Structures are given as C-alpha cells and as structure tokens.
Amino acid sequence: KVVTERSKANKVNAKERPFPLEWTRNIGIAAHIDAGKTTTTERILFYSGAVHKIGEVHEGDTVTDWMAQEKERGITITAAAISCAWDASCGPWSGIKQRINIIDTPGHVDFTAEVERSMRVLDGAVAVFCAVAGVQPQSETVWRQANKYGVPRLAFINKMDRVGADFFTAVAEMREKLGANAHPLCIPIGAEENFSGLIDLVQNVAYIFGTEEDALGLKPITTEIPEDYQAQAAEYREKLIEALCDFDDTLAEKYLEGEEISVEEIMFAVRKATISLEFTGVMPGSAFKNKGVQRLLDAVVNYLPSPIDLPPIKGQDSDGETVTAEVDDAGKLAGLVFKLWTDPFVGKLVFYRVYTGQLKKGTAVYNPRTRRSERVSRLVLMRAMDRDEIDVAYSGDICAVVGVKDIITGDTLCDADFDIRLEPPSFPEPVIAMS
C-alpha cells in the first residue's frame, strides 16, 4: 500500500474503525460557474451509486432506475457533504471500495469566509475547467484560495465534446495563468464530437468510451493505444515522468539510468508530487456525456491524499498560542463545523469534520466559543440517495451532527478539556468580484 512519511506518524486504530482511514478521501469540487461542477458531481454520485448497487445490475436494476432517483439526488447534491464509494479500476486500492466524501465548496467568491472554511476541511480537490473557455477569472481566485490552504488538486478539463474544445490549450493556460505545474495524466482520443476515449499515460493503456462497462461504471476494458496516438502518448508520458523526477529521487535515478519504471512507481510518484502541492495532474473528460468521469474517480482515489497523509491541523489555545492536533483516534476530540444545513428528511444538520479523536453519539461536546457543552443526539452520514445513522465518527471523518443547537459555521467542537479553537484566522484579502 502507498504510505507517505506522514501517514506513519498518525495513530489510527484500525481495529476499532469499520475500515482504515487511508481508504477515505475528503474532496471538494471547485469550478468557475458553468464549467460543469454540478454535472460532474452528479456523475460522480451516479457512478459511485452504480458501483454501490453492482449486485443488482444483473437483476435488471438498470441505469434508468437510478435516473428516476435523480430528483432526490438533486436535493442531496446541494448538501454540504455527501459520502459515496468507489472501487478504482487500477492502483493500490483496486478491489476495495474507497469512501469519497464530496464537500460542497461555495462557488461565489464573495463569501470568502465560507470558502475558507470549506477549503480548510478538504484534503484534496478537483478543479473543473471548461475545455472551450479554459482558465476563467473565477478559477484563478479559487485556485489561489486552494494554494493558500494547501489543498492538493487534480484538474478535470470538462466539456471535451463541445465545439472548440482544446485540452492542450487548457493545460497551457493552467501553467500561464495559474502558474500551475500542470501535466496531463491522461490525454484525449479525439475531441468535440469525436471525443471517444482516453489514453492513461501512467498505465500506458487506452480506455474507449461507450462500452457497457463504461456506461454502468463497472471495471472498464483497457486496450492498446491506437496507432495514430502512439507517438503523442509516448511524448507526453516521457514529459510526465520527467516532471515527476523532481519529486521522487528513486524514480529520477531509474530514469537517468534508463531502467524500466513500473506503473506502480509512476503512480506513487504522481501521488507524492500532488500532495507536495507543486504538481497538478490533468484529466480530460465530458461529464455531460458521461465520458472520463470514472477515470477521474480512479485518479481521486489514487492521487489525492487521505486524511493521514497531510500535516496536523493548527488551532489556537485560549492564550492565542498555536496548538497542533495530529490524527489520533485515541486522543482528545477536536473538529470544525463547516456548514449548517437543513435536510428535508432529517432536519437541522451541523456538518462537522473530525480532525482528531472520536465523536460518539449520545455524548456531550464542548464549544469553546459559547463555553458550553451540548449533547449529540444523532450522527448522520449523508449519501447520494439515503442517509446512514452512525454511532461514531472517527478522526478524519466528515459527518452531520444532530442535536447541537447553539452553533455557527466555523465553531470548533471538542472535548471540554482540550483547549483548542480551529476557526481559521481571518486575513485581509481583497474580494475579487465575479466576472
């Protein structure tokens, strides 16, 4: 399994948890308005829901049945955080369903404080760009916020089916306008109405869209790279490996010696480079046409960090001194309230990210702002189409808390004897108006 230096320092009790923390990705989807954030999120939920129901596929529960549930998904899509599961078609976690928590990041840059809070609870993000419009002004603002909060990113160049779609120009714009060290992880086969597949440069294989496996979100069939694309694929693969050498000495040595480099080694290097924040892998796709979204999910699992891969969260004690909290299931509880939301079925929900310790249903949590403790009556995991009641939220989890009343976004909820406030410090930054 891929483990980073950091993940070894964290104390996660695998015996107590339903599954290891390294199987979790807390991600946001950020985009310029109209780039396709909603559509991409919907497709992600659709495919991860499809996988959820894999057993029923053969019993006639087909795509159209899930489409009928689109309406309820439409409600949950606006929720603050939705959990889904994805079994990547390749990589170290293939064969194991990973939990992906999708956290809503406000699209309007004028709510700077809210953007800050949601940035803070993310471990990674997918930045969606339009393949025709490229990097738009609002994307630049969100990109800078993500830099500020140290959120590792993947880029999804969406709308590859549209007239004027140009993947490589969009990648070049990411470099010029965002200063991103952007490199394709996949390149498109065709564009506009002929956008018909992807070449995965890491695995050195092609995925062709439109197969039944693809439509149902099942394990796709990979094929050889089409002859017309072999030279281009080899060129971009070489560029990718060269770029990754800056982040991985072992890879650099092998590359210089001309030794064979395995797919696993490249994958590991992409992950390491992405987590370093100095590298952004780019994927082409068309969310609307259901093309490339499953491969994006594979990339989320394989390249974005889990909560144990990241530095400890920083907060302040009552004297204003900096305190840090490492992930530790057995440690004191500390977490951040990042959104309040009313669910039509459950009622008032307090969306909460546990950083360290455990939050148990029925126990009291302390709010340093109000200096009061309140009882957690229920804990809920929001899914695309239903809601799971849970008894415990562990370090790194995102959950919805029911029962806590005197609360605002940005509050810390912790153990009464843990002197920590996680509210991000406000910073003077001019608010850039939306174009």
Establish whether 31 is an annotated binding residue. yes
Of 209 and 352, which has the nearer Cβ to ligand GDP?
209
Establish whether 108 is an annotated binding residue. yes
Whether 287 and 37 have beta carbons less than 8 Å apart is answered as no
Alpha-carbon distance 307 to 153, whole Å? 14
Cβ contacts of 68 within 8 Å, gap of 6 or more: none
Of 24 and 40, which has the nearer Cβ to ligand GDP?
40
Establish whether 34 is an annotated binding residue. yes
Of 157 and 333, which has the nearer Cβ to ligand GDP?
157
Residues of this chain, 261-290, that bind ligand GDP according to CB under 6 A: 286-289
The single residue among 31, 300, 333, 384 that binds ligand GDP, judged by CB under 6 A, is: 31
Cβ 165 to ligand GDP, closest distance in Å? 8
Establish whether 166 is an annotated binding residue. no
DSSP for 320-365 reads S-EEEE--BTTS--EEEEEEEEEETTTEEEEEEEEEES-EETT-EE
- Could you give the residue ranges of the DSSP H alpha helices within 149-228? 167-178, 212-216
Of 165 and 240, which has the nearer Cβ to ligand GDP?
165
Q: Which stretch binds ligand GDP (CB under 6 A): 51-59, 158-166, 244-252, 356-364?
A: 158-166
Which residue matches tokens 């080899």? 234
Whether 174 and 181 have beta carbons less than 8 Å apart is answered as no
Alpha-carbon distance 214 to 46, whole Å? 12
Q: Is residue 34 a contact residue for ligand GDP (CB under 6 A)?
A: yes
Establish whether 159 is an annotated binding residue. yes
Of 229 and 288, which has the nearer Cβ to ligand GDP?
288
Establish whether 105 is an annotated binding residue. yes
Alpha-carbon distance 297 to 286, whole Å? 13
In whole angstroms, how far apart are CA 92 and each of 2, 33, 59, 184, 214?
7, 34, 30, 21, 21
The single residue among 159, 272, 295, 378 that binds ligand GDP, judged by CB under 6 A, is: 159
| Of 216, 194, 184, 206, nearest in space to 286 by CA | 194
Cβ 124 to ligand GDP, closest distance in Å? 19
Residues of this chain, 161-200, that bind ligand GDP according to CB under 6 A: 161-162
Cβ 34 to ligand GDP, closest distance in Å? 5
Establish whether 32 is an annotated binding residue. yes
Cβ 33 to ligand GDP, closest distance in Å? 5
In whole angstroms, how far apart are CA 124 and each of 112, 301, 310, 430?
19, 10, 10, 25
In whole angstroms, how far apart are CA 326 and each of 73, 283, 290, 357, 423?
35, 32, 39, 9, 17
Cβ contacts of 169 within 8 Å, gap of 6 or more: 134
Number of H helices, E strands in the chain: 13, 23
Sign of CA dihedral 184, 180, 248, 312: negative
Q: Which stretch binds ligand GDP (CB under 6 A): 2-10, 30-38, 136-144, 149-157?
A: 30-38
Whether 25 and 82 have beta carbons less than 8 Å apart is answered as no
Cβ 175 to ligand GDP, closest distance in Å? 22
Q: Is residue 37 a contact residue for ligand GDP (CB under 6 A)?
A: yes
Residues binding ligand GDP: number (CB under 6 A) = 16
Of 35 and 225, which has the nearer Cβ to ligand GDP?
35
The single residue among 39, 141, 280, 358 that binds ligand GDP, judged by CB under 6 A, is: 39
Cβ 286 to ligand GDP, closest distance in Å? 4
The span from the first CA to the last CA of the chain, in angstroms, equals 44
Q: Which stretch binds ligand GDP (CB under 6 A): 154-162, 191-199, 264-272, 398-406?
A: 154-162
Q: Is residue 33 a contact residue for ligand GDP (CB under 6 A)?
A: yes
Residue ranges for the known binding site are: 31-38, 104-108, 158-161
Task: Give contact residues for ligand GDP (rule: CB under 6 A).
Answer: 31, 33-39, 158-159, 161-162, 286-289
Residue ranges for the known binding site for GTP are: 31-38, 104-108, 158-161
